[in-house]
Amino acid sequence: MAKKKVTGEDGKTYVMKEKKPFYKKVWFWILVVIVVVAIGGSLGGGDKDKADSSSKDSSSAKTEATSSAAKESTVESSAAAENDSKATYKDRTLTAPDGVLKITGFERGTDYEGKPMFYVFFDLTNNTKEAQNVQIQYMSFAQAKQNTGATTENLEMAILMDNPYREKADLLQKDINPGATVSGVYYYNFADENQPVTFEFTDTMFSFDGPIATEDIQIP
């Protein structure tokens, strides 16, 4: 600390001590260092928060994009599965996930009481992974009915005394193996032999979506 001599009005000499400016004192610079460090830490923390926020936003965007892609994939897969599950009918051939039924011909005859009836000849392919009863699978794919004018009647299976197509008819009681095809025959009684027969084709026996196709056929 500097000393300064001053002569007073009384003629005496006085020694005065000069104080250092505050900015030259140690405690001032210590305080400055502390403030600078504090401000730097605050700024650094803000940058980190921004980085963390940016990272979270980026991660959220990636998650949303992944979720959106997964949803689109699921929708596409569902649509593909739905298309695969639909049956089609063309040229008297029903093609369904469980099998293929092709109507190959018709023929008239009489049942054991002499009443008019008709045969339906068909080729049946089993597309399932298990053996299926031929009659049940045929009935799952095709049903026959007639409009008699006043009523519409589901046609019943005819009872035959002497079946000229016994070998094909016997297949109805047998099982068809996966991937195999058999040529069989089914037979119905007419409700009205002068009216066409309406065939309804479905992909399952108890279809809630209605028939895949309907065709009116005049039995020759």
Q: Which of 134, 140, 147 has the alpha carbon at shortest distance from 185?
A: 134
Band (pLDDT 50/70/90 cuts) for residue 166 is very high
Average pLDDT for the chain: 80
pLDDT for residue 54: 56
Q: Which helix (H) or strand (E) holds 125?
A: strand 116-126
Q: What is the mean pLDDT of residues 79-90?
A: 64
Alpha carbon distance 220, 91 (integer Å): 17
Residue 165 clears pLDDT 80, i.e. is over it: yes
29 or 136: whose pLDDT is higher? 136
CA-based radius of gyration for the chain: 48
Band (pLDDT 50/70/90 cuts) for residue 105 is very high
| Cα separation values, 65 from 28, 55, 70, 76, 149, Å | 55, 15, 9, 16, 61
31 or 166: whose pLDDT is higher? 166
pLDDT for residue 64: 57
Q: What is the mean pLDDT of residues 77-92?
A: 65
The DSSP call for residue 157 is: B
- How much is the pTM? 0.62
